[in-house]
Structure 1
Amino acid sequence: MKVAVVQFRASTDKKKNLAKILDYISAAAKKGAQLCAFPEFMMFYTTSNQSARQLAEQAETITGDFITQIARAARKNKIEVVGTIYEKSKKKDRVYDTAFVISKSGKITSTYRKIHLYDALGFRESNKLEPGHKITPPTKTTLGKLGMLICYDLRFPEMSRILASSGSEILVVPSAWVQGPHKEDHWLALNKTRAIENGCYVIAPGHLGNIYCGRSLVVDPYGKIILDMKHKSGIGIADISLELVKKTRLSLPLLKNRRTDIYSDLSL
């Protein structure tokens, strides 16, 4: 089975980005992909001088025009789509960073609101974003059972482990990984580690340009990078094998060997 990973630079213009996204969906289907995965902030790039209120005004609901057109393209091209939007919240000056899965029939089958906001290394996403409050259970796709994270979530292994122990065979991580010293090293190490420790694939489409480093990846259950798009825009294709997930988890049964009966925080 083939997955298409899209790496591109989103502009501040939502309509222009949507036109590119629809073209990428069509191109991915023509390449024989069953699923097309997009990076975080694909909807549009928000600059540092854009206010929280201005961002919220451009955000949409999960059933808004942006998602509706992507769903139509998914149905037309008979391909599943994973991506993100700025989703309106009840607060006028905060939005959710929301990932979604759309089926080949154009139905929204799963959504996830980013729970770990990037308040680190000089950034404060909480100045504009509202955190989600739950981990979304794995959802069935053509590729297998898929668990969703977004970007900074990668740094919290508990989340990936919960998704894996709940049945995820693939973790998909739409990201906009900020450039900086050692940041690409962290990105590579974290994606490889999440794959190795959970015996699953990690599909990590990365936002390219603006302040982000790109480096979209697909990592197999043994931690081998089978796709690295470096700093090139466009579509990358990788083959996914659920049989490899099964074989890996049988020979290296990390999920089975956990001692959940004794895990707890330690009081000194």
Structure 2
Amino acid sequence: MTQLRVTVGQFEAQRDVNLNFTEVESIVTSSAASSDLVVLPENCMYSDPKKEATEIRYAEALDGDFITRLKRLAAENDTHILAGITETNVDDPSRPFNTLVQITPEGGLAGVYRKVHLYDAFGYRESDKVTPAPIADPLVFTINGITVGALTCYDLRFPEIVRWVALRGVDMIALPAAWASGPLKEFHWEALIRARAIENTIYFAGAGQTAPSCTGQSQIVDPMGVTLASAGEGSGAVATALVTSERVEAVRRTNPSLSNRRFDVTPAKSPIMSR
């Protein structure tokens, strides 16, 4: 049996990058002793939840100060970190990428995922401010023999991309998010996490920003849809759970839906429009 100790942490990021890093540092340092992987929210480097500076497009390159500090933090605490940043887009400075970075305990940047599905829903238009990433190989990495895939927030609403990643042999998907608050949004968050875990027979770890702009409720769900740990609503809260290959194997013996499927998943060549 292989196992992975996973922590999801949450807070509401602000426009002050240094303050945001202080929140990140607090979550990582308090969790590292019991965690092999700490998952932080989407946009945890910079956010403008009150929309006070809508004209600003703050972003950093992958060799920028925030990631440099994340590397140091991972090395000092001997843990892996998955975090969401706003990455500079040299081809369109006004529309950066919404990016996840995977940092190793050695202090290296080992992987990157740029968000594919932008949040153009529920009255928001993320694509006005962010460049949708071209579809490339998914971010998949292995820690202690457990294979992890990474996606971001709105991707959760698209079963195709989750299945696309799940078919890379992952035991868990980690999803940093800033799940916007609103009517029934907490219900959608929990229901979709459970559904994606159950239908792919994998663990699912969602780490979200908190109130008032977002729902919080960071949680880790097992391959049968059982919630193993939840951080609730509070800023700075964390939840930790143990992910094991034995549990994935046992669930798949009972529910072999992946091997029973008769359809595959490939990226769409163009958006499918309703008629």
Question: In structure 2, the residue corresponding to 1:86 is in which secondary structure?
Answer: strand
Matched, 1:152 2:138: no
C-alpha contact 1:118 1:152 (8 A) present in aligned 2? yes
> In structure 1, what is the Cα distance between the partners aligned to 2:37 and 2:145?
7
Question: In structure 1, the residue corresponding to 2:26 is in which secondary structure?
Answer: helix
C-alpha contact 2:152 2:177 (8 A) present in aligned 1? yes
Matched, 1:242 2:236: no
> In structure 1, what is the Cα distance between the partners aligned to 2:252 and 2:117?
28
Change (3 A) 1:33 1:261: closer
> In structure 2, what is the Cα distance between the partners aligned to 1:11 and 1:64?
18
> Offset of 1:246 from its aligned partner?
1.4
What residue number does 2:11 align with? 8
Normalised by the length of structure 1, the TM-score is: 0.92
Letter in 2 for 1:96: F
C-alpha contact 2:9 2:231 (8 A) present in aligned 1? no
> In structure 2, what is the Cα distance between the partners aligned to 1:261 and 1:19?
43
What is the root-mean-square deviation of aligned Cα atoms in Å?
2.1
C-alpha contact 2:39 2:83 (8 A) present in aligned 1? yes
Change (3 A) 1:143 1:64: farther
> Offset of 1:137 from its aligned partner?
4.2
What do residues 184-213 of structure 1 show as CA deviations (whole Å, max 9, x unaligned)? 111111000000000000000010024111
> In structure 1, what is the Cα distance between the partners aligned to 2:44 and 2:265?
42
Matched, 1:24 2:46: no
Letter in 1 for 2:221: V
Change (3 A) 1:77 1:261: closer
What do residues 141-199 of structure 1 show as CA deviations (whole Å, max 9, x unaligned)? 23611111101000000001011111111101101111111111111110000000000
Matched residues, percent identical? 35
What residue number does 1:60 align with? 60
Consecutive unaligned residues of structure 1, counting only runs of 5 or more, are none
Question: In structure 1, the residue corresponding to 2:74 is in which secondary structure?
Answer: helix
Change (3 A) 1:262 1:28: closer
> In structure 2, what is the Cα distance between the partners aligned to 1:9 and 1:17?
8
What residue number does 1:103 align with? 104
Q: Which residue, out of 186, 203, 209, partners 1:201? A: 203
> In structure 1, what is the Cα distance between the partners aligned to 2:238 and 2:70?
17
Where has structure 1 moved over 4 Å in runs of 4 or more? none
> Offset of 1:49 from its aligned partner?
4.4
1:65-104 residue pairs with structure 2 within 5 A?
65-89=65-89, 90-104=91-105
C-alpha contact 2:7 2:238 (8 A) present in aligned 1? yes
> In structure 2, what is the Cα distance between the partners aligned to 1:104 and 1:12?
28
Change (3 A) 1:143 1:212: farther
> In structure 1, what is the Cα distance between the partners aligned to 2:219 and 2:265?
35
> Offset of 1:261 from its aligned partner?
7.5
> In structure 2, what is the Cα distance between the partners aligned to 1:195 and 1:70?
29
> In structure 1, what is the Cα distance between the partners aligned to 2:264 and 2:62?
39
> In structure 2, what is the Cα distance between the partners aligned to 1:262 and 1:99?
23
1:222-261 residue pairs with structure 2 within 5 A?
222-233=224-235, 234-260=237-263
**Further displaced range: 137-146 or 5-14:** 137-146
Counting matched residue pairs gives 262
